[in-house]
Amino acid sequence: MKLHHTSSIFNAEAFPLEMALTHIEAQHTDDLSGRVIGGLVSATSLISTTQGEHTKPHPLNAMSSARALHWVFKIGDRTLTAKFYREILGMKVLRHEEFTEGCAAACNGPYDNRWSKTMIGYGNESSHFVIELTYNYNIFEYKRGNEFLGITIKSKEALERARAANWGVEEVNGKFKVEAPGGYPFYIIDEPQPKNTDPVVEVSMASSNLGKTINYWRDLLKAQVISQTDNQALIGFHKDRCKMRFVETSSPIDRGQAYGRIAFAVPGAELKGIQERMEAAKTTILTPYIKLDTPGKASVVVVILADPDSHEICFVDEEGFSELSQFDPDGEKLLDRYIAKEAKDRPDIHKKST
C-alpha cells in the first residue's frame, strides 16, 4: 500500500447539539458534573442549550451561494456500515463508485490504492445533506481522533429501529446517541422524521479556539454565525441546509486517521476566487484548483481547504457536481455486488462483519 501525497500544506433547523462529548478522551472526565481533568472539556460543559445563547438576526437567504453537500467518513467494515445506515438510520444508497487508485485530492485519505465511494442519505443529493462512505480496500481500521463530535438527525423511526435491533442506544441530555461502525456518533432527536425536509440537522466539530474558527468561517468563507454561546457557535450557509456546530475544547485537536471532510458546492466561477482569498489570507490550501474524474461519470473541479483546526473543507463546482451526483437506481445493487465479491474473495472480512 502506497501513501498518496496531496499538494501543499440533512431542514437544518438550529437545534443545539445538547450532547456530552464523551468521545474526546471521556476517560479523563470523572463524571458529568462539569469538572475538567487534564485540561479536557467535561461532558456537561459541551451541553448546548438555548439559555444564554446569543442569537442575532441572520438573513440566511442573503448568504453565500455555498450549498452544504455531505460529510465524508472513512470506514473499515463496509458490510456492517452498510447495515447501520440502511437498516438502523433508514438511509438509501444514492450511488456507488469504484476507483482503482487514490484520489488526486485525497478524497479517500492519504492512500494510493483501490477504494470505493458510497453516497447514502435520506433523499437526493440536490436537496439533502448526505453521507459519503469511503472504503479503502485492505484497510480495516482507522484510529479515531477527537475532532468529529457527531451528526444530529431528527428521526423517531431510526431510534425505534435501533432499539428493535438491540443496537446500542444511550440517552444524552434529551437526545439519543447511537454509534456507527468505527465509533462515529449520531445523535437522534426523538421526533417524527420530516417528510418534506431533510432530517439531518447539523454536524458538530471540535474547535481549539472558537474566535479563530468564527473568523475563518465568517470572514473568509462568508458563512453566517447563526447563534453563539461562550463555547459554541452554530454556523451555516443557508437556512434550509445542514448547519455546523463548533464546540470549543481546551484539549489539543487530534484528527487521528479517521478524520473526515465536509463538502460544499458553489458556482464554478467562484472556485478560483475562493482559492485566491485563502492565498491572500495565508491559510492552508490542501489541494489547489484541480479537476477530478469519475469513471463513466461527470468530472468536477474542487479546491480543498483546511480551517484553523485542520478540518478539511471541499468546495466543488455546482455544475459538475449536479451532474455527477444524479441518483443511480443501480447504486445499491453495485454496493451489494462488491460487498459480496469481497466476502467471497476474503472470507475473513465477511466473518468479522457477521
Identify whether the C-beta of residue 260 lies closer than 8 Å to the C-beta of residue 182.
Answer: no
Q: What is the pLDDT of residue 350?
A: 52
Strand partners, 135: 75, 116
Q: What is the pLDDT of residue 339?
A: 95
Q: Is 38 left (phi over 0), alpha (psi -120 to 50) or beta?
A: left
Q: What is the pLDDT of residue 53?
A: 52
Distance CA 302, CA 72 (A): 15
Give which of 38, 232, 39, 254 is closest to 146, Cα–Cα.
254
The ranges of the chain with pLDDT < 70 are: 1-64, 349-354
| Strand residues in the chain grouped as ranges (E) | 2-3, 54-55, 67-75, 92-99, 111-112, 115-121, 130-136, 148-154, 170-172, 175-180, 184-189, 200-207, 224-228, 232-236, 243-248, 261-266, 285-292, 300-306, 312-317
Q: How far from chain centre, in Å, is Cα 85?
A: 14
Identify whether the C-beta of residue 150 lies closer than 8 Å to the C-beta of residue 186.
Answer: yes
Q: What is the pLDDT of residue 349?
A: 66
How far is CA 296 from each of CA 120, 293, 299, rounded to the nearest angstrom?
A: 20, 9, 9
Q: What is the pLDDT of residue 346?
A: 74
Q: What is the pLDDT of residue 64?
A: 67
Identify whether the C-beta of residue 286 lies closer than 8 Å to the C-beta of residue 8.
Answer: yes
Q: What is the pLDDT of residue 205?
A: 98
Q: What is the pLDDT of residue 240?
A: 80
Distance CA 210, CA 80 (A): 35
How do the domains of the chain map onto residue ranges? 10-353
Identify whether the C-beta of residue 231 lies closer than 8 Å to the C-beta of residue 248.
Answer: yes
3-state secondary structure of 45: helix
Q: What is the pLDDT of residue 239?
A: 80
CA dihedral over 134, 85, 91, 66, signed as positive or negative = negative
In this structure, the number of other CB atoms found within 10 A of the CB of residue 35 comes to 12
Strand order in the sheet with 170-172: 54-55, 224-228, 232-236, 243-248, 200-207, 148-154, 184-189, 175-180, 170-172
Identify whether the C-beta of residue 219 lies closer than 8 Å to the C-beta of residue 183.
Answer: no
Distance CA 175, CA 90 (A): 18
Q: Is 77 left (phi over 0), alpha (psi -120 to 50) or beta?
A: beta
Q: What is the pLDDT of residue 61?
A: 39
Residue that has been written with the C-alpha cell 471540535 in this structure? 206
User: Is the domain covering 10-353 a CATH 3.10.180.10 domain?
Assistant: yes
Q: What is the pLDDT of residue 51?
A: 37
3-state secondary structure of 335: helix
Name the residue type at position 262: I
Grid cell digits, residue 186? 449520531
